[in-house]
Amino acid sequence: MTDMLTNDMRTTGQICAADLPDIARGAALLGTGGGGDPYLGRLLAERVLRERGPVDVVHPEQLPNDAVVVPVGVMGAPTVIVEKPLAGHEFRGALESLGAVLGRPVTHVACLEAGGLNSMTPIITAAETGLPLLDADGMGRAFPELQMVLPTLDGISASPMAMSDEKGNTVVLRTVDNGWSERLARSATVDMGCSAAIALYPMTGAQARTALVPGTLTLAGRLGEILRVARAEHADAAERIVEQMGGTVLFRGKVVDVERRTERGFARGLATLAGTGAHAGTEMMLAFQNEHLVAQVAGQVVASVPDLICVLDADTGEPVTTEAMRYGFRIAVLGLPCHPRWRSEAGLALAGPRYFGYDHDFVPVETLAAAR
């Protein structure tokens, strides 16, 4: 299968508009249902790349030690981002505000999270500013709160942090810890209309090499290509993803209920799935807060954060976001292993099931699968 995985980015060191559909599709998978609708972000990124030309991509190993690397993204409730499209210039606004506070120019844009829309926002930012884009992200997936990134485990501060809206308002935060950045930024996001461009976790090139997950954009492009090819070949996309990533197909079924609410800038909810095929007669409950958090079958946890719980449309193989999930969808639910640092004690304290209010310890998805 490897010979099908050609991606210009890996040979040319650039991302152009033609690369975006695969990256967006793969990033939607890594987004585990969250990170915002990748479709709208892709349309905007395509327009910006067509206007301004391709973006240069740099692998973490190529970074100078004294590079000034800034991850960017959009913060807010995906349900709102669908209805209030991005303008594009808000990312430039956030990055320039942060550069002014740092007192030295930002040299590289990075991805805060690999998920959905936030795979596209750093590409938009790089194209808008002319800066090179780092092929790396802060989590290897998507998470609902901004302190939930691997740089937090390295003691890197989220602040100074800048945020901008499409109207031209900017907010710069300096906080005593990353939890306070989350708290203050979340309120400002709600005021700004439930979505805002953010630039945060400024770090050196040396820090970026150890604190970020390398190769995320390349991985997203590869996963998107696998899904595209599987669809063209009428193959089982879920199985092909598991072959690439490890993990397991947790469930196949039909959405029979989705209960959702937008609270404090988050899209929270619970989906109920009725099993089909080998899973007929059983039910899966999928809890989400922007991203899927915990999957249970017959009351037993089969996967939980920080492992990746990904939902694919059973017919097309396309990733399904939490905000798009609705009654009648036939889906496959995958459990994929997270980056190993998330499974450390500190990683689980930051983004494990107990942080999100669940009363169970984390067990790796592959261990749970082997026990069934």
Helices 20-30 and 216-232, packing angle to 10 deg: 100
> Toward its own copies, which CB reaches closer, 16 or 101?
101
Q: Which is nearer to its own copies, 125 or 175 (CB)?
A: 175
Position of tokens 């190529």? Answer: 62
On whether the CB atoms of residues 188 and 159 are closer than 8 A, the answer is no
Binding-site member from 2, 11, 61, 167 for its own copies (CB under 8 A):
167
Which of residues 183, 254, 260, 354 is near its own copies by CB under 8 A?
A: 183
CB 199 within 8 A of CB 101: no
Task: Please identify, using beta-carbon distances, which residue of 118 and 181 lies nearer to its own copies.
Answer: 181
Residue closer to its own copies by CB (options 160, 253) is: 160
Interface with its own copies, residue 326, by CB under 8 A: no
Output the six-digit token pair for 358: 């669940």
DSSP 8-state code for residue 246: -
Q: Is 206 in the site for its own copies (CB under 8 A)?
A: no
272 near its own copies (CB under 8 A) = no
How far apart are CB 30 and its own copies at their closest, in Å?
A: 31
Sign of CA dihedral 21, 35, 47, 105: negative
CB of residue 161 to its own copies, shortest distance in Å: 10
* AA letter at 268: R
Binder among 16, 184, 229, 369 for its own copies (CB under 8 A):
184
DSSP state of 140: S
Q: What's the min distance (Å) between Cβ of 197 and its own copies?
A: 14
Among positions 172, 206, 242, 348, the unique one binding its own copies when judged by CB under 8 A: 172
End-to-end, the C-alpha distance of the chain in Å comes to: 30
d(CA 53, CA 145): 33
Residue 170 lies near its own copies (rule: CB under 8 A): yes
Total residues contacting its own copies by CB under 8 A comes to: 21
Does 261 bind its own copies (CB under 8 A)? Our answer is no
Question: How many Å apart are CA 72 and CA 99, to the nearest integer?
Answer: 12
Which residues within the stretch 84-123 sit at the binding site for its own copies (CB under 8 A)? 97, 100-101
Structural contact between residues 74 and 86, judged by C-beta atoms closer than 8 angstroms:
yes
Question: Any contact of residue 191 with its own copies (CB under 8 A)?
Answer: yes
The DSSP code sequence of 278-339 is GGTT-EEEEEEESEEEEEEETTEEEEETTSEEEEEETTT--B--TTT--TT-EEEEEEE---
Q: Which residue has the tokens 């089969």?
A: 302
Least distance in angstroms from the C-beta of 186 to its own copies: 8
* Ramachandran assignment for 290, one of left (phi > 0), alpha (psi -120 to 50 degrees), beta (any other): left
Minimum CB–partner distance for residue 179 and its own copies (Å): 11
Closest distance to its own copies from the beta carbon of 157 (Å): 12
**Cα 341 to Cα 123: distance, rounded to the nearest angstrom:** 26
- Candidate residues 53, 64, 168, 340; the one interacting with its own copies per rule CB under 8 A: 168
Residue from 12, 187, 210, 300 binding its own copies (CB under 8 A)? 187
190 contacts its own copies (rule: CB under 8 A)? yes
Q: Which stretch binds its own copies (CB under 8 A): 49-57, 76-84, 174-182, 303-311?
A: 174-182
Strands 213-214 and 133-137: antiparallel
Of 174 and 261, the one with the shorter C-beta distance to its own copies is 174
- Which residues form the interface with its own copies (CB under 8 A)? 97, 100-101, 167-176, 180, 183-184, 187-188, 190-192
